[in-house]
């Protein structure tokens, strides 16, 4: 007595290390990821690996086609991956438009094409009357992990009509002998009870249910599809007993010459097939089969998400599976109205968190008048050259330096003394004391000079060439271009050619592939403006977002979007709040690479969760 298990338990495979943002998996699979190339938002699976072979996915192991006349013909497998893009989407066909990270595959998209290419062509003759291919019939091979045996082959140049039987293991069942098979973890017993007198059918028991099955056909017995490929009797020279050769579970697949794929009599709309042949000899009626193709095309919109894998229809032997999304170490930034006439910004800098009022409409007329909290608590942001800080009119000055992937921002005030100027950081720590006229001093890595001072104000020159005007660099490396007030009183932002008193732009710039600050491609552009005389913050460039859009969350009037990261490595999650009279925006930015873990898997797998 021996017991066959199908499918093999995942426990025979090692446990894959858990990817960042995901869980360990046991089974066979390929993670779409390379050392320096991960699946960022906006990238496609084919951008990572367009042609999957046994090197990436052991499930595609090279095989051998074995014919009934003992020929052994090696073949290789490869999957050509279609245009499957990882994005942020909302769709009425998926969870009632819930905003989701994943892959939306539109109807008509090729998901993959399997090519099985033979090392040398499989030679067969073509019977004159029936067009049958006798050398192909009985040949055994594997296709995407499923055993297959050609029952009938017909020529219809340039294609071939094939009917195959396969699925699980091929088992010889002998009359009145019980065979134990472990199917999907459930122990089952199978036995041949009788064989038809003309050897065209046999009666099979599956546990306590039995029925007759015709040769080269399948039938569901006791909930298990069984396929009979051959019947043998004690009258045969090579056997002493009656019985039959079966596939358990059995799958009869019809690969039509016109391209359709049918399982039993049901056409699998998503699958199409093709066979590449060539004529070897017209006189001898010989052809050669070089390749077999199987194409999977979406017949409706389908999805790959954390909650929903995508399984190969009909054959169900491979699937795409999403195992988490790595968002990195996120930092939180908020830009919001704090009253009807102010806009504030809160974020994390290298050494402390800040909350700054950055715009003020002092006379409630719907125009921005000052950068800062009040007319005597202004924010000095135009500091990349020479600037003046007045203790009676100004609250803070902001200095920022960026060089490649290194950046620093300090928010500073002064305390003018008789013997010099003290410089005090936002967190209350002392930067320097008693700096006299003409003296150099440092704020972090930035070099400055006190040009002159009096009882009320200090004239300062920034000497670091990498200094930026009106900018903040957050802890994770997000560059925020905040408003600045020019000498004529107008308010604008660095790099924004806009001087509208009612609308001031705020730009947020990510890092690029090399982690250079402010060099990312897709900037977030906000507008601080007025709705009536009430201050509000709006997003004005949806093109920076995945699918060029933000999506409403459950009819809350809160919209969520993710910045497209196909040309950079890190993204931002953005919420645009419209639920109240005054809009506001919050953002989570990660200075690390952010990406999805999407696998091509065999269904023989399990996810390892914590106890």
Torsion (CA) 169, 175, 181, 187 in degrees, nearest 10 = 150
Report CA-CA distances (Å) from 305 to 100, 267, 481, 497, 588. Answer: 8, 27, 35, 41, 21
**CA nearest 142: which of 294, 342, 328?**
294
Burial (CB count <10 Å: 0-12, 13-18, 19+), residue 540: exposed
Predicted local distance difference test score (pLDDT) of residue 4: 58
Per-residue pLDDT, averaged over 332-338, amounts to 96
Determine which of 143-147, 385-389, 398-402, 597-601 has the lowest per-residue pLDDT on average: 143-147
pLDDT-derived band at 388, boundaries 50, 70, 90? very high
The pLDDT of residue 221: 93
Nearest in space to 593 (alpha carbons), one of 102, 37, 44: 37
Q: Report residue 7's pLDDT band, with 50, 70 and 90 as the boundaries.
A: low
pLDDT at 310: 95
Query: Read out DSSP for 471-495?
Result: EEE-TT--EEE-EEE-TTS-EEETT
Q: Two tokens at 43? A: 């990238």
Confidence of residue 611 (pLDDT cuts 50, 70, 90): very low
pLDDT value of residue 264: 85
Question: Per mean pLDDT, which of 29-33, 222-226, 586-590 is the most reliable?
Answer: 586-590
Beta strand pairing call for 430-435 and 504-509: unpaired
Ranking 84-93, 251-260, 446-455 by mean pLDDT, the lowest is 251-260
Question: What is residue 259's predicted lDDT score, i.e. its pLDDT?
Answer: 85
DSSP characters over 142-177: EETTEEEEEEEEEEETTEEEEEEEEES-EEEEEBT-
Residue 343 to residue 493: CA distance in whole angstroms: 14
Q: Higher confidence at residue 560 or residue 159?
A: 560
The residues with which 224 forms a beta bridge, in sequence order, are 221
> Which tokens hold the place of 425?
């950081």
Amino acid 8: pLDDT: 59
Domain parsing of the chain, residue ranges: 3-168+252-326, 170-248, 330-376+469-484+491-593, 383-466
Mean predicted confidence (pLDDT) in 384-395? 97
Instruction: Give pLDDT tens digits for 286-322.
Output: 888 899 999 999 999 999 999 999 999 988 889 999 9
Q: Give the model's pLDDT for residue 9.
A: 58
Comparison of pLDDT for 257 and 590, the residue scoring more = 590
- Rg (Cα) of the chain, in Å, rounded? 35
pLDDT at 1 over 50: no
**Residue 116, pLDDT score:** 94
Mean pLDDT of the chain: 90
pLDDT in tens, 51-99: 999 999 888 989 999 998 889 999 999 999 999 999 999 999 999 999 9
Residue of 6, 86, 247, 194 lying closest to 596 (CA atoms): 86
Does 596 score more than 70 pLDDT? yes
Region 33-43: mean pLDDT is 93
Are the C-beta atoms of 275 and 162 separated by less than 8 Å? yes
Per-residue pLDDT for 171 more than 60? yes
Query: Helices marked H in 179-245 — which ranges?
Result: none
262 and 253 in contact (C-beta within 8 Å)? yes
The pLDDT of residue 5 is 58
In our burial notation (b when 16+ CB lie closer than 10 A, e otherwise), range 407-433 reads: bbbbbbbbeeeeebbbbbbbeeeebbe
Res 2: pLDDT = 47
Q: Mean pLDDT across the stretch 100-110?
A: 98
Residue 449 confidence (pLDDT) above 70:
yes
Identify the pLDDT of residue 501.
Answer: 73
CA distance 68 to 137: 8
Closest by CA position to 446, among listed 408, 503, 412, 474? 408
- Judge whether 174 and 269 are in contact, CB under 8 Å: no
5-9, 455-459, 527-531: least confidently modelled range: 5-9
Task: Write down the pLDDT at residue 154.
Answer: 86
What is the DSSP annotation of 27-80? Answer: EEEEES-BTTB-B-TT-BHHHH-SEE-TTT-GGG--EEEE-TT--EEEEEEEEE
pLDDT of residue 11: 62
For 597, other C-beta atoms within 10 Å of its C-beta total 23
Of the candidates 243, 251, 189, which has an alpha carbon nearest to the alpha carbon of residue 216?
Answer: 251
The pLDDT tens digits for 190-220 are: 999 999 888 899 999 999 999 999 999 999 9
């Amino acid at each position: 007595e021996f017991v066959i298990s199908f499918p093999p338990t995942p426990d025979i495979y090692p446990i894959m290390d858990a990817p960042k943002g995901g869980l360990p998996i046991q089974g066979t699979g390929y993670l779409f990821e390379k050392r320096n190339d991960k699946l960022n938002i906006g990238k496609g699976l084919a951008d990572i690996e367009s042609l999957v072979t046994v090197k990436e996915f052991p499930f595609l192991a090279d095989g051998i086609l074995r014919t009934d006349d003992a020929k052994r013909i090696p073949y290789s497998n490869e999957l050509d991956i279609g245009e499957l893009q990882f994005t942020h989407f909302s769709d009425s066909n998926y969870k009632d438009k819930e905003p989701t990270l994943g892959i939306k595959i539109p109807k008509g998209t090729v998901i993959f094409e399997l090519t099985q290419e033979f090392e040398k062509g499989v030679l067969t003759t073509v019977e004159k009357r029936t067009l049958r291919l006798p050398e192909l019939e009985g040949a055994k091979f594997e296709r995407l992990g499923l055993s297959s045996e050609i029952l009938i082959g017909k020529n219809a140049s340039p294609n071939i009509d094939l009917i195959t039987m396969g699925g699980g293991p091929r088992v010889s069942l002998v009359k009145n002998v019980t065979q134990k098979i472990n199917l999907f973890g459930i122990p089952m017993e199978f036995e041949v009870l009788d064989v038809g007198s003309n050897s065209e059918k046999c009666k099979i028991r599956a546990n306590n249910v039995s029925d007759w099955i015709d040769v080269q056909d399948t039938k569901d017995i006791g909930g298990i599809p069984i396929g009979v490929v051959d019947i043998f009797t004690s009258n045969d020279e090579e056997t002493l007993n009656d019985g039959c050769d079966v596939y358990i579970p059995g799958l009869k697949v019809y690969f039509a010459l016109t391209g359709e794929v049918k399982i039993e009599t049901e056409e699998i709309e998503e699958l199409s097939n093709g066979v590449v042949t060539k004529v070897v000899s017209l006189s001898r009626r010989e052809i050669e089969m070089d390749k077999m193709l199987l194409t999977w095309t979406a017949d409706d919109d389908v999805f790959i998400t954390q909650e929903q894998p995508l399984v190969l229809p009909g054959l169900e032997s491979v699937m795409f599976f999403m195992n988490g999304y790595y968002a990195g170490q996120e930092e939180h930034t908020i830009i919001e109205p704090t009253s009807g006439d102010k806009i504030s910004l809160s974020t994390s800098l290298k050494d402390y968190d800040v909350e700054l009022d950055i715009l003020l409409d002092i006379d409630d007329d719907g125009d921005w008048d000052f950068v800062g909290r009040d007319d005597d608590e202004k924010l000095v942001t135009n500091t990349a050259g020479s600037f003046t800080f007045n203790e009676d009119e100004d609250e803070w000055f902001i200095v920022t330096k960026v060089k490649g992937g290194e950046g620093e921002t300090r928010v500073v005030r002064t305390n003018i003394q008789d013997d010099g100027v003290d410089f005090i950081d936002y967190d209350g720590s002392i930067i320097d004391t008693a700096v006299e006229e003409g003296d150099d001093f440092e704020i972090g890595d930035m070099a400055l000079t006190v040009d002159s001072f009096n009882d009320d104000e200090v004239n300062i020159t920034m000497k670091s060439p990498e200094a930026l005007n009106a900018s903040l660099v957050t802890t994770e490396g997000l560059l925020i271009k905040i408003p600045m007030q020019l000498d004529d009183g107008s308010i604008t932002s660095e790099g924004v050619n806009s001087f509208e008193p009612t609308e001031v732009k705020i730009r947020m710039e990510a890092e690029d592939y090399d982690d250079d600050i402010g060099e990312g491609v897709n900037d977030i552009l906000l507008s601080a403006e007025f709705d009536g005389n009430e201050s509000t913050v709006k997003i004005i460039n949806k093109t920076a977002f995945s699918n060029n859009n933000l999506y409403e969350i459950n009819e809350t009037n809160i919209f969520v979007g993710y910045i497209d990261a196909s040309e950079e490595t890190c993204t931002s999650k953005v919420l645009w709040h419209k639920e109240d009279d005054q809009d506001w925006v919050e953002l989570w930015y990660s200075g690390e690479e952010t990406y999805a873990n999407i696998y091509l898997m065999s269904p023989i797998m399990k996810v390892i969760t914590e106890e």
